[in-house]
Amino acid sequence: MKKLVLSAVMALSIFGITDAFAAELQMSDSAKTKSVTEIQKAVPEKLENEVKTQKTVPYKVNRIDKNVAKLAKAVLPKVIYPTMTHHLGYEGSKFSITVRFNTDMDRNTVIAGSTVIFDFPKAANAAGQITWTNDREFKWVQQSNRRFDICNYDPDCEFKLTLTDGILSKEGLKLDGDNDNKQGGNCTIWFIDLG
């Protein structure tokens, strides 16, 4: 008799536990259902936002690679000065040439003798010193003492500046030196110093 009662109690407990589990399962199911409903509600709202975005911008902003977007907005770096053969200056008896870009440049890529090359009749790739005025403008001053050291006047001295496309803007774009509105291409400028 005692055994029977015990098994009955056990059976009841098992049922009880099962019921409790079932109830819990049901609860979590309804909770799940609830959150699914919430997600479903949220999705159309999001889509609506995307549709709104598409009206102003012809692509989904959040799917665009950030770097691509950054480059698309970046300014193509160009040389805006000098533009004429007589755009040269002097510092005492030395040449001092100012170069200006249309956008901020990565100074580390502007290197005398490497990406900035001055070829004079008496000195190919003449040594010089670069000094920055700001991130868009620098000045190159010859290292030798006098213009006559590197120039040959017969009667004028012609020399050439090459700015290679190893020069980059701060935004990381190559110099459009050949001015074809595409990244890259060296810039060559001829100067004439009248004798």
Q: In the complex with Ca ion, which residue's Cβ is closer, 67 or 181? A: 181
Give the footprint of Ca ion on residues 151-190 (CB under 5 A). 176, 178, 180, 182, 185
Instruction: Indicate if the alpha-carbon torsion angle 45, 51, 52, 54 is positive or negative.
Output: positive
Compute the least distance from the CB of residue 72 to Ca ion, in Å: 17
Q: Is there a contact between 95 and 147 (Cβ–Cβ < 8 Å)?
A: yes
Residue 116 CB, nearest approach to Ca ion (Å): 18
Q: Which of 68, 99, 102 is nearest to 83 (CA)?
A: 99
Considering beta carbons, is residue 178 or 193 the nearer one to Ca ion?
Answer: 178
Kindly state the smallest distance separating residue 180's Cβ from Ca ion, in Å: 4
**Cβ of 152: how many Cβ atoms within 10 Å?**
14
| Strand ranges inside the chain, DSSP E | 79-81, 89-91, 94-101, 116-119, 128-134, 137-142, 157-163, 187-193
Q: Binding to Ca ion by residue 106, rule CB under 5 A?
A: no
Q: How is residue 151 written in tokens?
A: 């120039």
Maximum pairwise Cα distance, the chain: 132
Residue nearest to Ca ion (CB): 185
Structure tokens of 191?
Answer: 């100067």
Closest distance of CB 68 from Ca ion, Å: 19
Residue 12 tokens read as: 């009841």
Q: Which residues, 62 to 81, sit near Ca ion by CB under 5 A?
A: none
Q: Binders of Ca ion: how many residues, by CB under 5 A?
A: 5
State which residue, 122 or 182, has the beta carbon closest to Ca ion: 182
For Ca ion, give the closer residue by CB, 142 or 164.
164
The one-letter amino acid at 180: D
- Least gap, CB of 183 to Ca ion (angstroms): 6
Query: Which residue, 128 or 177, has its beta carbon nearer to Ca ion?
Result: 177
Minimum CB distance to Ca ion smaller for 172 or for 185? 185
Tell me the closest approach of the beta carbon of residue 187 to Ca ion, in angstroms.
9
Neighbours of 170 (CB within 10 A): 16
Q: What tokens does 190 get?
A: 């001829």
The residue behind tokens 């160009």 is: 78
Query: For binding to Ca ion (CB under 5 A), which residues are involved?
Result: 176, 178, 180, 182, 185
